[in-house]
Amino acid sequence: MRPRSLCPRCPRIGVVPLGLLLAASSCGDAVGPGGFTITYRASLAGIATIDSIYYGNGSGKCTSNCTADSTMQRVVAPAVPATNPSWVVILSNLSPGSSIEVHLFGSGTSAGTANVVRLWMTAAGALAGDSVTAATAAGTKFTAELAARRL
């Protein structure tokens, strides 16, 4: 005697086709959905102001002075709150092979060390990063840059 289905009008679904569907849907990029998340952070600790900052949006490389490259995002004199003296931007869903970089141009208000950090994380949670520091002095211009890097 053949077992009865709970749905006599429904067609029978074979186990093999369902298994193939599951196997095919699990294939994909090693990074996973969403790609990379990038964080740029400039810590100024009340010792400097940012005249301008250029950061890569993941689609290209900065030219020699950054101003001619439409793939760079420019922020002029961003407000940096006194309670948390840093500037932060987060980009999501950058694909593998994207280029990231940051160039900060600032003015010192007192002696100290400005810090620029760049972090990147895969959708799977693998985290890496790098940073650079620049000495500051009252009334002195400074630059802190992290060169282009491919994800």
Q: Express each pLDDT in 62-84 by its tens digit.
A: 555 555 555 678 899 888 777 77
Domain ranges (residues) in the chain? 31-150
**CA 151, 31, 24: angle at the middle one, nearest 5?**
145
CB 58 within 8 A of CB 93: no
Q: How confident is the model at residue 4 (pLDDT cuts 50, 70, 90)?
A: low
Q: What average pLDDT does this structure show over 111-122?
A: 94
Between 115 and 3, residue with greater pLDDT? 115
Whether 20 has a pLDDT exceeding 70, the answer reads no
Q: Which two tokens stand for residue 128?
A: 């890496």
Q: Which residue has the tokens 């869903």?
A: 93
Q: Which two tokens stand for residue 151?
A: 């994800």
> In this structure, what DSSP letter does residue 116 have?
E
Length reported for the chain: 151
Burial category of 41 from C-beta neighbours within 10 Å (exposed 0-12, middle 13-18, buried 19 and up): middle
Task: Evaluate the CA torsion angle 63, 65, 70, 75 in order and state its sign.
Answer: positive
CB 34 within 8 A of CB 90: no
Tally DSSP H helices, then E strands, for the chain: 1, 8
Q: Which residue has the tokens 């972090």?
A: 119
> Residue 20 belongs to what H/E stretch?
helix 15-25
What single letter denotes the amino acid at residue 143? Answer: T
pLDDT, position 9: 52
